[in-house]
Structure 1
Amino acid sequence: MATLQASPSELRESNLRGQKLPNWTPWAIGAGAIVVSALIFAVTGDSFNRARFAVLAALLFVVALTAASFAVEGRRQATDRLFTTFVYSAFVLAIAPLISIIYYTLSKGLSVIDGGFLTHSMFTISEDSFGGGAYHAIIGTLIVTGIATVFAVPIGVLTAVYLVEYGEGKKFARLVSFFVDVMTGIPSIVAGLFIFTFWLLTLGFQKSGFAGALSLVILMLPVIVRSTEEILRLVPHELREASYALGVPKWKTIVRVVLPTAFSGIVTGVMLAIARAMGETAPLLLLVGTQAKINFDPTSDAMSTLPTFIYSQLGSAAGNADAPGTARAWGAAVTLIAIIMVFNLLARFVGRFTKARG
């Protein structure tokens, strides 16, 4: 008489699988942690605070889920769930400030932004009265950042190419790498003071958008160099060796193979540098100043940018949350975030649809 026996693969699967918590368990424990936290606040009579409530609920969730997993699934699965929860918690802690900043800025500034705000300057508009806009600051931000990008991108990319492709083991390359690391930690005001001393005091030029752009170049260079250097090191050496085997010179291999392969990563690094430059305030206050009207000439006179516009409007408000200057400052902050977001989306689009071509 034939007997039914499980196959060896089925036996191994049943032994390794063990008992598992249902998929709904984390959700149920999370809801219970929220309810218990609310009861604790109600019983103790402590004043409600969102941050403390979130921390207490998170701690209760981690302890309860780990205990349930240890009781049902065993020590190994409980340890895995514990560290997985820590990873997700770290992600939430990292993303929460960003979300809160964006939410708070949008809630304060969206009501100010309209056609007039984006197409008018503060020329002939009193800082104590409503009206006016940030058009002159938007133009100034684009001009100053554009000039800085034109100088910083080729210098930074070529420096990274030298460090990766030509500087292996050379003393000069190590010296360049050391100074790039030093520049990474330079405060923005120090870069502004350097340009102020060299460009304004020594050479005798006046405050202008070009002077501010030079300070932004100093701040953008280390970001571009380091990001481009890391991306170039990720390009497989097999691609270079295949090009050399075909008799292609090294410089042409870099131009036709290495750089196109790393193009999307280079664009991402450049956008990080541009985003940092657009948000700088201290060196621009020192070198560019502020202006109530539009100035398209970056070589003469003061020029407003969005960060300096925000600073000047908050200064005119003197801490009054209902003042017109405060509203315009929040509107300018939303505009700055929107411009940076648009540039990043364009960079993603370019990096995604640009491929290396032989």
Structure 2
Amino acid sequence: MATQAPERTRATFLPVSDPDAPPQHPRPGLGKPTSEESFTLVGTWVAALAMAWLVTQRLLPLGGWAWLVVAWLALGILFTVVIGFMTGRRVDVVDRVAGAVITSGALVVGAALVSTVAFVIFRGWEPLLHANFFIDDMSGVGPRDPFDRGGIAHAIVGSAIQLGIAIAVTLPLGIATAVFMTEVGGRLAGVVRTIVEAMTALPSIVAGLFIYTVLIVAVGFPRSGFAAAMALSVMMLPIIARAADVVLRVVPGGLREASLALGASRWSTVWHVVLPTARPGLATAVILGVARGVGETSPVLLTSGVASFMVTNPTDGVMNSLPLYIFKGARSPEPMDIERAFAAATVLLILVLALFVVARVVARTRTTARRPSLLRRFRRPTQQETR
């Protein structure tokens, strides 16, 4: 008679309780705060705001909203630490404090940016309601004339011409410098990189004095928009070269090796592989350079001068620009000129934003109408393609 095998019993193990071990069943929505955590967070900052108001507005002579915000941030972080030790562990306290500090810093920076833009628009909104402000110049217009006379068309045209010349000069030079530092290398590349990094901190007044001494005093070239564009080029060139150098070094080395292995030359590799791969970053480098040069006042003031009429020839005498117009209007004792200066600052902000949008659209990677890549050119055709 066959004997039956004994049935196997399933062993049960009791979990060992470890206070420091994570829970076996994590709560749903990992990473999202629970309702209790959200209530604690909101209550902490509300209590900190009430305490900051009591301290700054009632107990201490620290009137004003600036001291209130500073005290609110400090007390909010302090209350976060205290409540964190009451309800959690040390790692939870560190996480909450780090999150509070980062969030507070981002909110402060965002509030400063929004308040600056809002203040500029609020002070200069009235001249923007008149169409002549965008199509007329200030020739024959006095500082006390109403806003329906005069405009900033000459300053807009001058800034566009000067920036256009500066970009035409700095864009090929900056990218070529970055390609030399990244792709060529050698001892000379290290020297060039050191000079570029040192020039990024060059004061704008020094660039203006350099162009004024070399181009105007030594060569005898008149003060004009072209001289101002050369001064802006000195300011923009190290920014574009340094940012483009960082972008080109991020391109994977495997792309270069694959291109060279397929028989492409070094120049073809740089032109068809490296530069198209880094095109969005290069557009960002150009944006940084233009942002540095579009608001410069001192080099343009030394090399160009202020004009109240329209000038379209960059080599024919003085040429005004938006920074110079804003500088001249802000220093005027007349309220009408000050409001026009704020309106011109609003237009300058809008132009910079439009330039940023255009650069991002140009830098967008092409998907549909894309040229054949270098790797596709050098690969062998398949049998179906040969047929």
TM (norm. structure 2) is: 0.84
Tell me whether 152-161 or 101-110 shows the greater mean CA deviation. Answer: 101-110
Correspondence for 2:72: 57
Q: Secondary structure at the match of 1:327?
A: helix
Correspondence for 1:14: 23
Correspondence for 1:314: 330
Give the C-alpha shift of residue 76 in structure 1: 1.1
Correspondence for 1:273: 289
Q: Secondary structure at the match of 1:85?
A: helix
- 5+ long unaligned stretches in structure 1: none
CA contact (8 A) 2:56 2:67 kept: no
User: Quick one: distance in 2 between partners of 1:6 and 1:85?
Assistant: 40
Q: Secondary structure at the match of 2:165?
A: helix
- 2:101 is equivalent to residue 86 of structure 1: yes
- 2:277 is equivalent to residue 251 of structure 1: no
1:175-254 alignment, distance < 5 Å: 175-254=191-270
Q: 1:173 aligns with which of 189, 194, 208?
A: 189
Correspondence for 2:61: 46
Correspondence for 1:133: 151
Q: Secondary structure at the match of 2:145?
A: coil
User: Quick one: distance in 2 between partners of 1:3 and 1:69?
Assistant: 41
CA pair 74-145 structure 1, distance change in 2 beyond 3 A: same
CA contact (8 A) 1:264 1:354 kept: no
Q: Which amino acid aligns with 2:112?
A: P
Q: Secondary structure at the match of 2:320?
A: coil
Correspondence for 1:37: 52
Q: 2:363 aligns with which of 339, 351, 355?
A: 351
Correspondence for 1:160: 178
Tell me whether 144-153 or 44-53 shows the greater mean CA deviation. Answer: 44-53
1:52-131 alignment, distance < 5 Å: 52-114=67-129, 115-130=131-146, 131=149
Give the C-alpha shift of residue 7 in structure 1: 8.8
CA pair 341-54 structure 1, distance change in 2 beyond 3 A: same
CA contact (8 A) 2:56 2:71 kept: no
Aligned CA RMSD, in angstroms, stands at: 2.5
CA pair 42-271 structure 1, distance change in 2 beyond 3 A: closer
Aligned sequence identity (%): 32
Larger helix share, 1 or 2: 1
Tell me whether 121-130 or 95-104 shows the greater mean CA deviation. Answer: 95-104
- 5+ long unaligned stretches in structure 2: 1-9, 28-32, 374-387
**1:220-276 CA-partner distances (Å, limit 9, x unpaired):** 011000100000011111111111111111110111110001000100110111111
Tell me whether 184-193 or 122-131 shows the greater mean CA deviation. Answer: 122-131
Structure with higher Rg: it is 2
User: Quick one: distance in 2 between partners of 1:143 and 1:127?
Assistant: 26
Give the C-alpha shift of residue 3 in structure 1: 12
Q: Which amino acid aligns with 2:110?
A: I
Q: Which amino acid aligns with 1:324?
A: M
Q: Secondary structure at the match of 1:126?
A: coil
CA contact (8 A) 1:127 1:313 kept: no
Give the C-alpha shift of residue 353 in structure 1: 4.1
Give the C-alpha shift of residue 13 in structure 1: 5.1
CA pair 215-43 structure 1, distance change in 2 beyond 3 A: closer
CA contact (8 A) 1:121 1:133 kept: yes
User: Quick one: distance in 2 between partners of 1:354 and 1:208?
Assistant: 40
**1:138-181 CA-partner distances (Å, limit 9, x unpaired):** 000000011000000000000000100001xx221122112112
User: Quick one: distance in 1 between partners of 2:350 and 2:360?
Assistant: 15
Give the C-alpha shift of residue 39 in structure 1: 2.7
Give the C-alpha shift of residue 63 in structure 1: 1.3
User: Quick one: distance in 1 between partners of 2:269 and 2:11?
Assistant: 68
CA pair 54-171 structure 1, distance change in 2 beyond 3 A: same
CA contact (8 A) 2:248 2:274 kept: yes
Correspondence for 2:380: none
User: Quick one: distance in 1 between partners of 2:176 and 2:246?
Assistant: 13
Give the C-alpha shift of residue 4 in structure 1: 10
Tell me whether 239-248 or 221-230 shows the greater mean CA deviation. Answer: 239-248
CA pair 29-4 structure 1, distance change in 2 beyond 3 A: farther
